[in-house]
Amino acid sequence: MTQKQADLLVSALKKRFGGKTEFEPVNTKGRYRFAITSRRFDAMSQLRRQDEVWKVVDRVLPREAMLDISTILAYAPADLATVK
């Protein structure tokens, strides 16, 4: 995945879920890890969050770029508030 594609995905995730999206490279071969924190995940199960997030990926990225996503972590703010 190119940096431009990663930026494009961040924009699309931001538009769909609001909140905050961050990403970082996992290696030097264009593989990235994303993390979203959004209130829209408050009442969603973890799997449902994943389904919703990956729908956005399918919509904005070609399949080859999708394979370069290592993971997309989807947090509700309350999830992070409980980390001590």
Q: How far apart are CA 25 and CA 33, in angstroms?
A: 6
Least distance to other proteins, CB of residue 80, Å: 13
Cβ proximity to other proteins, 12 vs 54, nearer residue:
54
Catalogue the long-range contacts made by 66-69 (C-beta closer than 8 Å, 24 or more residues apart).
Answer: 68/1, 68/29, 68/30, 68/31, 68/32, 69/1, 69/31, 69/32, 69/33, 69/34
Least distance to other proteins, CB of residue 46, Å: 4
Least distance to other proteins, CB of residue 69, Å: 7
Footprint on this chain of other proteins (rule: CB under 8 A): 26-27, 31, 33, 45-47, 50-51, 54, 63, 66-67, 69-74
